[in-house]
Structure 1
Amino acid sequence: MKIGFGLYSHMLNGEYYRLAKQLGATHIVAHLTDYFHQSDTGPGDQPLGNKTKGWGVAKETEIWSFKELAALKKDMAEHGLVLEALENFSPAFWYDVLLKGPKRETQLAGLKQLIRNMGKAGIPIMGYNFSLAGVAGRTIGPYARGEALSVGLEGHSEALDSPIPNGMVWNMIYDRNAPEGHIASIGHEELMDRYTYFLDEMIPVAEEANVKLALHPDDPPLQEVRKQPRIGYHPDHYREIMMLNDSPNHVMELCLGTISEMNGSDVYAALENFAQRNKIGYIHIRNVKGKVPDYKESFIDDGDIDMGRIIEILRKYRFDGVLIPDHAPQVSGKSPWISGMAYAMGYLNALRNTIK
């Protein structure tokens, strides 16, 4: 298995490529989707707030071109890094795919072209989250060891229960001029119908382009958030989703932290099931304490998950994909985000190198 690093769009430059290489990464997962954040970006030197609070405005308006993707891959290669995956379609690319709106077919055509562009550029995985509400309700606080700042969920809140305004999906505004009001609530069956349609349209293109589509489970993994149903809120449901299409290009962006947070989950049994069926694209490594609706993210060595046991399971099934530290608590000092991620990278690398 390989060790990678996830970088946000503003980090896709030589400084952060050198950092990733120095910390032991060989592969990069690139978050090209970013947004203008409407609250502060969180404490420290990196936007802990990016996925934990506030809302934003989707910046991208056009599908990422082959030329852009090829240049990005080339730049990383010059720093000794492999571009393993892109993570998250911009809501501006596919809001009507999620909402079953009038532009669905046009937007699906754009996503198909993006997958073809990725295949031509030799980028093997597209990570995505088929979610209306996105990440909501999480808070930031001194939850981790030594009062390090991390994120968590502290019971049900207004942020979890408030309906989604028109013109927004995934906590990002795609239409500033949308009429007042909220998007209509739907049932779980309708969400699955929309998702199945997406798969039926996209998987043949992904197979042709030799690109895997890797689904992240909804986080926080509750059955409903902001009056909308969720995908992959329990390992059994995640397994059912993977059985919707038996293509080797329909896989998971497996997030250990999200699975551990699920009520009634056994993260080791879930990992065994997915690994033996070759349904894992790449893995987010993150440790937590507790389960929804009350959990806190912890240091990689200090949560409910025995990371050594995780590596043993992956070795057992000869997983050869990429592991990336997902979130990490921010360590006190001049570079809180970098220090926290460096700690996670070192611990993960040591486990990978010692457990055979």
Structure 2
Amino acid sequence: MKETFRWYGVKDTVSLSDIKQAGTTGVVTALHHIQNGEIWEIDEILKVKRAVEDAGLEWSFIESIPIHESIKLRKGDYLQRIENYKQSIINVAQCGIKHVCYNFMPVLDWTRTHLFWELEDGSTALRFDKVDMAVFECHIIALNGSEEAYSEEVLKKAEERFSKMTPEEKQRLEDGVLKGLPGTVDDLTIPEFKEMIAQYDGVTHQDLKANLSYFLNQVIPVAEAHGVKMAIHPDDPPFDIMGLPRIIKSEKDLEDLVNFIDSPSNGITFCTGSLGANPENDLPAMIEKFGDRIHFLHLRNVKRESDGSFYEDNHLEGSSDMYDIVKAVLKLEKRRGVSLPMRPDHGHQMLDDLKKDTIPGYSAIGRLRGLAEIRGLALGIKRSLDL
């Protein structure tokens, strides 16, 4: 596996020199200052590329070129936004960058209720709490019909929890869901957020998949013509939230994806955390099944709970067997004769990073721990199986 690290640009507290010291060869980044739906111009791409290369690293994967909401809805100026996306692909290809990660999650990107949830050892982790999500939907933003998505037990717990929450706790939850996640939408107020959600009224899973298929059939031929591989990131969490359909969360969804358009440029970012939060997913089997379409790996582990809650566990712990996952990846690489870009994902905030103002899930030391664990695991598997 080609080891990479996510970098959020010059404002990131984890610098390119830090990434270099971690022993990685690649950087995963994006033009975070460009508004969703606008063209990535060549001069802006080259500024970031030069910074990465001056640090002795390679810009291995773009994560992400965001998809404008009008494209997901196939409304308004979606045709112009698609043309902008095509031009961005052409431009990154001309700059020598040939891998693009993206997602098709409506309104929100990856979502958590806790950004700094304290673990027993004193470190903090990202967490999605089903009861707190019900508090947010049913009480804080009072979303119409939100109760239908929850069991009576969860609704009862949510009502009781909300009644005991302080104003500070309510604000923390609101900020966590709406403002806390990097590389997603701009910070939103509750009225703005509800207005965006309302645009999806009546949009079914089938509708959203049809819109994704339309987008890919427009964009993938351009990507293939310029040697660019697109890799969709699964939905996180892998189930509907706030009445919004999630459509890339299971083996069947990935089957649909690869069948939308038959092209090596129509690929997958295999995120073991997003897919692993769905207990029905057999991750090693999915790696074997979709191996030829997997272009990028996010390796992390989540601990699932019975009510649908989960939190980011240590990379070698949690509900997914990382040994079987890495073994499947290494066998895939040997069969394909490739080294797939991989990055450790969503590390714990720990040690000296607890004193720093870091991006949730993206502090240096926790991800470095995850990288070291995966690196050692991969070496052991290679030596024992002669891969």
Shorter-chain TM band: 0.7 to 0.9
Q: 1:221: which partner in 2?
A: 238
- Tell me, what secondary structure is at the counterpart of 1:339? helix
Give the distance between the partners of 2:376 and 2:10, measured in 1 at CA: 29
TM-score if structure 2 supplies the norm length? 0.76
Judging changes above 3 Å, is the alpha-carbon distance between structure 1 residues 138 and 173 closer, same or farther for their aligned structure 2 residues?
closer
5 Å-filtered alignment, 1:240-259, equals 240-259=256-275
1:302 to 311, 317, 326: 317
What do the CA deviations read for 1:278-313 (whole angstroms, capped 9, x no partner)? 111111111111167211111112222232322211
Judging changes above 3 Å, is the alpha-carbon distance between structure 1 residues 251 and 11 closer, same or farther for their aligned structure 2 residues?
farther
Paired amino acid for 1:279: R
Q: 1:8: which partner in 2?
A: 8
State the Cα RMSD in Å: 2.9
Q: How many residues align?
A: 323
Give the distance between the partners of 2:36 and 2:275, measured in 1 at CA: 30
Give the distance between the partners of 1:231 and 1:78, measured in 2 at CA: 39
What do the CA deviations read for 1:22-53 (whole angstroms, capped 9, x no partner)? 1111011104336xxxxxxxxxxxxxxxxxxx
Structure 2 residues not aligned, in runs of 5+: 145-178, 357-362, 383-387
- Tell me, what secondary structure is at the counterpart of 2:124? strand
- Tell me, what secondary structure is at the counterpart of 1:157? helix
Give the distance between the partners of 2:348 and 2:96, measured in 1 at CA: 33
1:148 to 100, 123, 129: 123
Could you say which structure has the higher strand fraction? 1
5 Å-filtered alignment, 1:1-356, equals 1-11=1-11, 16-33=15-32, 62-90=38-66, 94-134=68-108, 135-142=110-117, 144=119, 146-155=121-130, 156-159=133-136, 171-172=185-186, 181=195, 182-185=198-201, 186-222=203-239, 224-275=240-291, 278-290=292-304, 293-318=308-333, 319-334=338-353, 337-356=363-382
- Does structure 2 conserve the Cα–Cα contact (< 8 Å) formed by 1:33 and 1:89? no
Give the distance between the partners of 2:199 and 2:137, measured in 1 at CA: 15
Task: Give the CA deviation at 1:120.
Answer: 0.3
Give the distance between the partners of 1:239 and 1:303, measured in 2 at CA: 26
- Tell me, what secondary structure is at the counterpart of 1:80? coil
Judging changes above 3 Å, is the alpha-carbon distance between structure 1 residues 65 and 270 closer, same or farther for their aligned structure 2 residues?
same
TM-score if structure 1 supplies the norm length? 0.82
Task: Give the CA deviation at 1:213.
Answer: 1.1
Task: Give the CA deviation at 1:338.
Answer: 1.7
Judging changes above 3 Å, is the alpha-carbon distance between structure 1 residues 160 and 343 closer, same or farther for their aligned structure 2 residues?
farther
Task: Give the CA deviation at 1:69.
Answer: 1.4
- Does structure 2 conserve the Cα–Cα contact (< 8 Å) formed by 1:152 and 1:295? yes
Give the distance between the partners of 1:69 and 1:269, measured in 2 at CA: 37
Task: Give the CA deviation at 1:80.
Answer: 1.9
Could you say which structure has the higher helix fraction? 2
Task: Give the CA deviation at 1:229.
Answer: 0.8
Judging changes above 3 Å, is the alpha-carbon distance between structure 1 residues 104 and 158 closer, same or farther for their aligned structure 2 residues?
farther
- Tell me, what secondary structure is at the counterpart of 1:76? helix
- Tell me, what secondary structure is at the counterpart of 1:229? coil
Which protein is bigger by CA-based radius of gyration? 2
- Does structure 1 conserve the Cα–Cα contact (< 8 Å) formed by 2:119 and 2:125? yes
Give the distance between the partners of 2:54 and 2:233, measured in 1 at CA: 30
- Percent of pairs identical after alignment? 24
Give the distance between the partners of 1:158 and 1:213, measured in 2 at CA: 36
Give the distance between the partners of 1:160 and 1:246, measured in 2 at CA: 39
Give the distance between the partners of 2:378 and 2:220, measured in 1 at CA: 32
Q: 1:49: which partner in 2?
A: none
- Tell me, what secondary structure is at the counterpart of 1:151? strand
